[in-house]
Chains A and B, each alone.
Chain A
Amino acid sequence: MKIVKYAYDIVFRRKLRTFLTSLGITISVILLSFIIFGMKGLENTLVYEFTSRFKPNDITVMKDGQFSQFLPSDEENKEEVTSNENAPKVEVIDDDVVNKIRNYEYTEKVSPIMLILSLDIYVETNENPYPNGNIIGYDTKGSDSLFVDYIEITKDKDKELEMGEVFIGKTVVDYYKLDTENLSDLKIILKPSRSSIMSNPSKTVVGKEYVLNVVGIVDTGQDRNSLIMSIEQSKAILADLGGFATSDELVKEIGYQQLMVTAKEGKVNDLKKFIEDEIGLTAFASDDFLSFIKIITDAITFALIMFGIVSSVVAGIGIINTMVMSIYEQTKEIGIIKAIGASNIQVLIIFLIQAGTIGLIGGIMGVAVVLAGTKFADPYIVEILQEQGFLLNKFFIVEAQTVGIIVLSSVLLGILAGLYPAYRAGRLDPVKALRYE
């Protein structure tokens, strides 16, 4: 304990230098902490966003290859791809496919999804189309967990959409600055879009027009769906646009784009296997998306931490420099304490304590800045993300354990950087050290 007191006395003799050297560590701690806490926050935001809308039992089903670029390429998935080689190939997700899945023993529910890409959305009171309009057909109701919020106009939140009815997205309401209190007669008009990257309209569709009643407003959060109608309604529109005689013919020839399948409790993997191996479609369970999110955020975190480590190395060199200076200044004192009985190890420890203390001070200052910074920045980041439709109340999640590890790592970095100078100090010849001027 006495040695520690003596070592501390030496550290605080040069307060400014100790402070400045610690700053290097502080900067490194700030950088690494923001990377770690920021990426953790991002991951949590994405996971929360996802899990609040998709239940663990939900499976998104698509045709093979449609979504393969999003597959995490770990070993597990490679095996899956191999096991799928013998599975049948599905060209069209038609009602036969839907029924096969629906009749499987572990299936709770199957909801087909249609995307309408070639129509522009007009609000009857305005001549300009809504930009970036996404229209989907999906049997749903206002209370669906897919929606962050639902404002009833004429449709009770527990009743499903019917023909001729649509929910409009909150983004559309905001865009046209519509008064939500006064929308009971609002109609939406869909007209074929002009040529764009999302559509190639044909001559047959020119002049077509579909008028639908707005029955509710939905906040779709991060999903950019601007208009939602029942699957039957979307099939009717797509059949008309595509020149099919009936909706059934459309489904038979073109099929659904996606299916949202819900498995019975605890049977997700069985159902997923059935869909992939027996039906021949690609199935993504919530867990697949979550592990995908985790792989991406982990990879980015790792890359950023590499940058952070560079700053740690610089901080470490700063400590080495300070410690070497300190040894030159204290050569005579080292000689004195050795002459009165300090051992090489004790001198080494004294200098390691100094180096560790510099690390500790830097770590504590860094953590203080990080805690204050995250507290200050959190509401702004939350606000920005909420504006973007993310669901969250808190972005930075600062865990006491992580803070402890960061401070401890700073001390270790200090000690590591102090090893060589401390070794040199310990090995000083007392006779020469006492003569040093």
Chain B
Amino acid sequence: MVSIKNLSKTYKMGKDNDVHALRDVSFSIADSEAIALVGSSGSGKSTFLNILGGLDSDYEGEIIVGDKNIKEYNSDIYRRNVVGTIFQQFYLIPKLTVEENILLPIYFGKQLSKNEIEGRIDYLLRKVGLTDRRKHKPSELSGGQAQRVAIARALVAKPQLLLADEPTGNLDSKTGLEIIDLLKELNKEEGTTLIVVTHDVDVAKSIGKKIMLRDGKIV
């Protein structure tokens, strides 16, 4: 379960100029559930994602993932093993192959045996339909394929929570919907809690449950 209570974040932009990016945001999501967080530009989506993704720890309120406040985790281990993030721009490392990109989180942490790693990468490549692209570089992939690699990378360490930041933003609508379908499918299979941040109403609809964010508040 992911539970967010009274989450607030204020940027201090000079002496008397406080920008409230998030104000008292509270909601919870059950395990294996998927929700869409919908909001326009400047609504506080990115701030919310940075905090939930473990990149920003300067906030007020409480976030529980599993049964632990995320502040109780070592932030590196949290990012490595508890949460997986998918970005709009894919953020693959150009010089590494598809396989190496997917395994990157394992490079930095989770101790897995060679067999476990092999099994995991085979499974993920099959799931995202890129088995034959294993040794390819990101430059040899289409946008949809690159985002599939990013999804596999986010899931490789079996996180409890998967965050997707505008995962279809750089893709055409058909490919975008395919990606959403893939995310939903994996969400069920892996039992991961999925939060998709988007401004695209169609994407939000296809996810099902949605939360609207405006000026840092849930509406």
| A residues adjacent to B (C-beta < 8 A) | 2-3, 5-6, 9-10, 13, 332-333, 335-344, 346, 430-431, 434
Q: Taking the nearest CB of chain A, how far is it from the CB of B22, in angstroms? A: 14
Flag whether B85 is at the interface (Cβ < 8 A).
Answer: yes
With A2-B107, A431-B55 as contacts: A336 and B91 at CB distance below 8 Å: yes
Q: Quick check: B108 and A333 within 8 Å, CB to CB? A: no
Flag whether B145 is at the interface (Cβ < 8 A).
Answer: no
CA distance A93 to B122 in the complex (A): 97
- Point out the residue from B50, B77, B103 that lies within 8 Å of A431, measured CB to CB: B50
| Chain B residues in 8 Å Cβ range of A2 | 103, 106-108
| Chain B residues in 8 Å Cβ range of A430 | 55
| Chain B residues in 8 Å Cβ range of A9 | 95-96
Q: Quick check: A339 and B95 within 8 Å, CB to CB? A: no
Q: Taking the nearest CB of chain A, how far is it from the CB of B114, in angstroms? A: 12
| B residues adjacent to A (C-beta < 8 A) | 50, 53, 55-56, 76-77, 79-81, 84-85, 87, 91, 93, 95-96, 103-109, 153-154, 157
Q: Taking the nearest CB of chain B, how far is it from the CB of A425, in angstroms? A: 14
| Chain A residues in 8 Å Cβ range of B85 | 339-340
Q: Quick check: B108 and A3 within 8 Å, CB to CB? A: yes
| Chain A residues in 8 Å Cβ range of B93 | 333, 336-337
- Point out the residue from A13, A332, A335, A343 that lies within 8 Å of B108, measured CB to CB: A343
For the A-B complex, the count of residue pairs with Cβ-Cβ distances under 8 Å equals 62
Q: Taking the nearest CB of chain A, how far is it from the CB of B197, in angstroms? A: 15
Q: Taking the nearest CB of chain A, how far is it from the CB of B49, in angstroms? A: 10
Q: Which residue of A lies closest to B80 (CB)?
A: A341
With A431-B50, A431-B56 as contacts: A341 and B108 at CB distance below 8 Å: yes
Q: Quick check: B108 and A340 within 8 Å, CB to CB? A: yes
Q: Quick check: A339 and B79 within 8 Å, CB to CB? A: yes
26 contacts between A and B (CB under 8 A): A2-B103, A3-B107, A3-B108, A6-B96, A9-B96, A10-B95, A337-B104, A338-B55, A339-B53, A339-B55, A339-B79, A339-B87, A339-B91, A340-B79, A340-B85, A340-B108, A340-B153, A341-B76, A341-B79, A341-B80, A341-B105, A343-B108, A344-B76, A346-B76, A431-B50, A434-B87
CA distance A339 to B80 in the complex (A): 8
| Chain B residues in 8 Å Cβ range of A338 | 55, 79
Q: Quick check: B81 and A341 within 8 Å, CB to CB? A: yes
Q: Taking the nearest CB of chain B, how far is it from the CB of A48, in angstroms? A: 55
With A337-B108, A430-B55 as contacts: A342 and B91 at CB distance below 8 Å: no
Q: Which residue of A lies closest to B47 (CB)?
A: A431
Q: Taking the nearest CB of chain B, how far is it from the CB of A5, in angstroms? A: 8
- Point out the residue from A5, A333, A335, A342 that lies within 8 Å of B76, measured CB to CB: A342
Q: Taking the nearest CB of chain B, how far is it from the CB of A341, in angstroms? A: 3
CA distance A9 to B103 in the complex (A): 15
Q: Taking the nearest CB of chain A, how far is it from the CB of B85, in angstroms? A: 6
Q: Which residue of A lies closest to B75 (CB)?
A: A343
Q: Which residue of B lies closest to A6 (CB)?
A: B107
Q: Quick check: B91 and A13 within 8 Å, CB to CB? A: no
Q: Quick check: B96 and A340 within 8 Å, CB to CB? A: no
Q: Taking the nearest CB of chain A, how far is it from the CB of B64, in angstroms? A: 20
| Chain B residues in 8 Å Cβ range of A434 | 55, 87, 91
| Chain A residues in 8 Å Cβ range of B80 | 340-341
- Point out the residue from B56, B87, B95, B108 that lies within 8 Å of A346, measured CB to CB: B108
| Chain B residues in 8 Å Cβ range of A333 | 93
Q: Taking the nearest CB of chain B, how far is it from the CB of A354, in angstroms? A: 14
CA distance A430 to B53 in the complex (A): 11
| Chain A residues in 8 Å Cβ range of B157 | 341
CA distance A333 to B103 in the complex (A): 15
CA distance A227 to B76 in the complex (A): 85
Q: Which residue of B lies closest to A433 (CB)?
A: B55
Q: Taking the nearest CB of chain A, how far is it from the CB of B206, in angstroms? A: 26
| Chain A residues in 8 Å Cβ range of B107 | 2-3, 5-6
Q: Taking the nearest CB of chain B, how far is it from the CB of A7, in angstroms? A: 10
Q: Quick check: A343 and B91 within 8 Å, CB to CB? A: no
Given A339-B91, A340-B105, A346-B76, 20 more A-B residue pairs with CB atoms under 8 Å apart are A2-B107, A2-B108, A3-B107, A3-B108, A6-B96, A10-B95, A13-B95, A337-B108, A338-B55, A339-B85, A339-B87, A340-B79, A340-B104, A340-B108, A341-B77, A341-B80, A341-B81, A342-B76, A342-B108, A430-B55
CA distance A6 to B95 in the complex (A): 10
CA distance A339 to B50 in the complex (A): 9
CA distance A346 to B74 in the complex (A): 14
CA distance A13 to B70 in the complex (A): 37
Q: Taking the nearest CB of chain A, how far is it from the CB of B166, in angstroms? A: 13
| Chain A residues in 8 Å Cβ range of B104 | 6, 337, 340
With A9-B96, A430-B55 as contacts: A341 and B109 at CB distance below 8 Å: yes
Central interface residue in A3, A13, A336, by most chain B CB within 10 Å: A336
Q: Which residue of B lies closest to A343 (CB)?
A: B76
CA distance A336 to B154 in the complex (A): 12
| Chain B residues in 8 Å Cβ range of A340 | 79-80, 84-85, 104-105, 108, 153-154
Central interface residue in B50, B85, B93, B105, by most chain A CB within 10 Å: B93
CA distance A346 to B93 in the complex (A): 17
| Chain B residues in 8 Å Cβ range of A5 | 107
Q: Which residue of A lies closest to B82 (CB)?
A: A341
Q: Which residue of B lies closest to A333 (CB)?
A: B93
Q: Taking the nearest CB of chain A, how far is it from the CB of B12, in angstroms? A: 16
| Chain A residues in 8 Å Cβ range of B77 | 341
Q: Taking the nearest CB of chain A, how far is it from the CB of B77, in angstroms? A: 8
Q: Which residue of A lies closest to B154 (CB)?
A: A340
CA distance A340 to B84 in the complex (A): 7
Q: Which residue of B lies closest to A344 (CB)?
A: B76
CA distance A140 to B76 in the complex (A): 84
